[in-house]
Structure 1
Amino acid sequence: MYTPPAFAIDDLDALDRLVGADAFVTLVTVADGAPCASHLPVLYRRDGRRVRLSGHWARPNPQARHEGRALAIVHGPHAYVSPGVYPDKETAARVPTWNYAVAHLGGRLRTFEDEAGLGALVAALSHAQETRIGRDWTFEPDREDHRRQLRGIVGFHLDVDTIEVKFKLGQNHPVANIAAVAADLDARPEPRERAVAALMREHALPAVTAPMQGD
């Protein structure tokens, strides 16, 4: 991923929040020279810089037969930025752009199909989402009809060894431009655009307003 230094984020707490807000990733593999992508909910675990993503495919999905190197793309909020809101739009000849947050997690993919592992995975995934929306469905391992459903899926773990987090939030602009864009996004109706404004205030404004440090 092309990431200018101004947009690179090394704070893994930011990655935690990005995945916590939306744990639905794009998983990319390559087989026989052809890329393959699936869009999947995942469980995310981090211990220091050790990260693991876990999830499952439908068994007929060709990617369920892939192992080895893989890339998971975590999609954060994004928003169109109009040059019309920049205070220096005329003097600097500003043009449209897009602000966004994204992470690329590369690592080694391995699959599993044992009933106990798949049952634990489905139970954990459903618990995370059912809790989030205030529902109470749960996987019941004592039910034969629940266990039978596990035959239709293949599980995976992605043990991550490369982490790239990119927050393109206008850090290369003057502080007045960043503040103006954040205010404009806050006034828009889409939650994802307001989420970008919040990230700009957290990551871009402090970056340009912090005092200079000595050598």
Structure 2
Amino acid sequence: MYNSPHFAVDDRAQLLELIRSHPLGCLVVQGPQGLDANHLPFEVRESEDGQLQLWAHVARANPLWQQLGDGMPVLIVFRAEEGYISPNWYPSKQATHQQVPTWNYRVVHAHGTLRIRDDEKFVRGVVGLLTRRHELRLGQSGEHQPWKMSDAPQDYLQKMLGAIVGLEVDVSRLEGKFKLSQNKSAADQKAVADSLLAAGLTDMGRRMQEQQASESRD
């Protein structure tokens, strides 16, 4: 992806935080019929030596796992907050009228190689990890009773696990692009963040405010 120096992020911790907080990735592969994309929740696994893996699963009925071989290069795209930016939000526009519309967003591209894991132990582990992580997230409010795999009848659970196939991606490279108006003046950045909040785009507005606060401390 094209990545201006203004927006490029190579801090591993920030990139992994985005993946963990926005785990629905778009897995892009070159299949027999051309480019193919599947939208899957991923679990991040990091070994003691720093090797990064992304785990997921697909339906057994999905031809993806049969068409692709181990070692095939893949790209997984994770996207966080995004929003349209109006030129009218920039104070500098009122003076020069030299602004145009744009779009702010945060994305991480994970490049790696795929391995098919058609074994129950791996699949059960992936489902268990994803379930615990996201049920606990829902339960942080104290009102949600987390669902556990053991809540399902064992014969039903076994049938469901048999209907999916595991995917394991060895990550070779992470690319981050956090486009948050860093190429604009401080006054323009603040005005954009305030306008996003006023327009109801609170996630992007707050993210921009955090970015500006971080830059002011540096």
- TM class, shorter-chain normalised? 0.7 to 0.9
Inter-partner Cα distance in structure 2 for 1:35 and 1:205 = 40
Q: Deviations over 1:49-105 (max 9, x none)?
A: 532110100011122222311111001100111110111114151011110000100
Inter-partner Cα distance in structure 1 for 2:169 and 2:56 = 9
**Aligned to 1:146, which of 157, 161, 173?**
157
The offset of 1:136, in angstroms, is 2.6
Inter-partner Cα distance in structure 1 for 2:163 and 2:18 = 30
Inter-partner Cα distance in structure 2 for 1:113 and 1:12 = 30
Gaps of 5+ in 2: 140-144
Normalised by the size of structure 2, how large is the TM-score? 0.86
Residue number in structure 1 paired with 2:142: none
Residue number in structure 2 paired with 1:53: 54
Inter-partner Cα distance in structure 2 for 1:49 and 1:196 = 30
Residue number in structure 2 paired with 1:133: 138
Question: How many residues in Structure 1 have an aligned counterpart in Structure 2?
Answer: 207
Residue number in structure 1 paired with 2:87: 83
| Deviating 4+ runs (over 4 angstroms) | 204-207
Gaps of 5+ in 1: none
Inter-partner Cα distance in structure 2 for 1:174 and 1:50 = 38
Residue number in structure 2 paired with 1:194: 202
Secondary structure, counterpart of 1:60 in structure 2:
coil
Residue number in structure 2 paired with 1:101: 106
**Aligned to 2:119, which of 105, 114, 125?**
114
Secondary structure, counterpart of 1:88 in structure 2:
helix
The offset of 1:149, in angstroms, is 1.7
Residue number in structure 2 paired with 1:36: 36
User: What residue identity is the alignment partner of 2:163?
Assistant: G
Normalised by the size of structure 1, how large is the TM-score? 0.87
Q: How many percent of aligned residue pairs carry the same amino acid? A: 34
